């Protein structure tokens, strides 16, 4: 369970993928507790900063896991409304359409419905998070040299789920009175990727207006 969404009403939580757990008592768990406490202060700019003496890779790793869990739960609340009929293509408003390719097993982009695309996407992210060579959970095991590059790809893809939810399902989110959770989660995500320059500006353009408002 995410620290930040622990208030999400249980009746609405139907997760798409299993949540990735950070073991209690681990250093990563302590980092998340620290992050949750700072977030509670309401100062997002401060909350996303690398805490003193911490490793950048590890900080990006724990936050990436948490964003995956948050998005998993948020998307889980509206899955009943995101169907092949309602969302025949994965989009973020009328100007942006996404076709799925992971670059390794799927090289030729597949045009598919939003639920199918999001299933591919979340499954792919989960595989990365579960890979001990990429996200080591054991003390003393170091992150791969290209960790930041992998994290960037994960975050770029996770952003698309937020963008789809905002563009196609915001009314459903309002009906469930989850908009405060969605906005808080997305704002935290944007501050985080902005702090470490993790997503290119053009990738963020489907949400540019809201991002500018949030960053003001
Ligand atoms: Zn949809």
State the CB neighbour count (10 A cutoff) for residue 52.
5
Q: What is the pLDDT of residue 119?
A: 96
Give the residue, 19 or 50, on which the prediction is more confident: 50
The number of CA neighbours under 13 Å toward the Cβ of 47 is: 22
Q: How far is the CA of 5 from the centre of ligand 1 (A)?
A: 21
Query: 22 CA distance to ligand 1 centroid (A)?
Result: 29
Mean pLDDT for the stretch of residues 175-184: 95
Q: Has residue 12 got a pLDDT over 60?
A: no
Average pLDDT over residues 78-84: 97
| Residue 14 predicted with pLDDT over 60 | no
In this model, does residue 78 exceed pLDDT 80? yes
Residues in CB range of 140: below 8 A, 6 or more apart: none
DSSP 31: H
**Per-residue pLDDT, 15:** 58
pLDDT of residue 1: 31
- Write the CB contacts of 9 (distance below 8 Å, at least 6 apart in sequence): none
- What is the pLDDT at residue 137? 84
For ligand 1, the distance from its centroid to the CA atom of residue 164, given in whole angstroms, is 6
pLDDT band (50, 70, 90) for residue 16: low
User: How far apart are the CA of 117 and the centre of ligand 1, in A?
Assistant: 10
Q: Identify the bridge partners of residue 98 per DSSP, sorted by sequence position.
A: 90
Class level of CATH domain 3-215: mainly alpha
Between the CA of 72 and the centroid of ligand 1 the distance, in Å, is: 14
Nearest in space to 99 (alpha carbons), one of 121, 75, 79, 117: 117
Distance 71 CA to ligand 1 centre (A): 14
Report which of residues 9 and 26 the model is more confident about. 26
Q: Determine the distance separating the centroid of ligand 1 and the alpha carbon of 175, expressed in angstroms.
A: 15
Tell me, in angstroms, the distance from the centre of ligand 1 to residue 155's CA: 19
- Each residue of 125-177: pLDDT tens digit? 999 999 999 999 887 789 999 999 999 999 999 999 999 999 999 999 999 99
Percent of the chain with pLDDT over 90: 75
């Amino acid at each position: 369970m995410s620290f930040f969404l622990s208030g999400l009403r249980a009746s609405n939580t139907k997760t798409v993928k299993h949540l990735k757990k950070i073991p209690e008592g681990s250093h990563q768990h302590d980092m998340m507790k620290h992050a949750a406490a700072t977030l509670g202060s309401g100062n997002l700019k401060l909350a996303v900063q690398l805490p003193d003496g911490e490793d950048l890779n590890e900080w990006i790793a724990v936050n990436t896991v948490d964003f995956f869990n948050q998005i998993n739960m948020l998307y889980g609340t509206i899955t009943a409304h995101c169907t092949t009929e309602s969302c025949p293509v994965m989009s973020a408003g009328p100007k942006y359409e996404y076709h799925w390719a992971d670059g390794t097993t799927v090289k030729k982009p597949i045009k598919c419905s939003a639920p199918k695309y999001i299933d591919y996407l979340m499954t792919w992210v989960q595989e990365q998070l579960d890979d001990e060579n990429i996200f080591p959970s054991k003390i003393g095991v170091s992150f791969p040299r290209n960790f930041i590059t992998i994290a960037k790809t994960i975050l770029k893809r996770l952003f698309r789920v937020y963008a789809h939810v905002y563009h196609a399902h915001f009314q459903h989110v309002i009906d469930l009175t989850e908009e405060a959770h969605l906005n808080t989660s997305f704002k935290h995500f944007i501050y985080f990727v902005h702090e470490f320059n993790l997503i290119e500006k053009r990738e963020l353009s489907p949400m540019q207006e809201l991002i500018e408002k949030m960053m003001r």
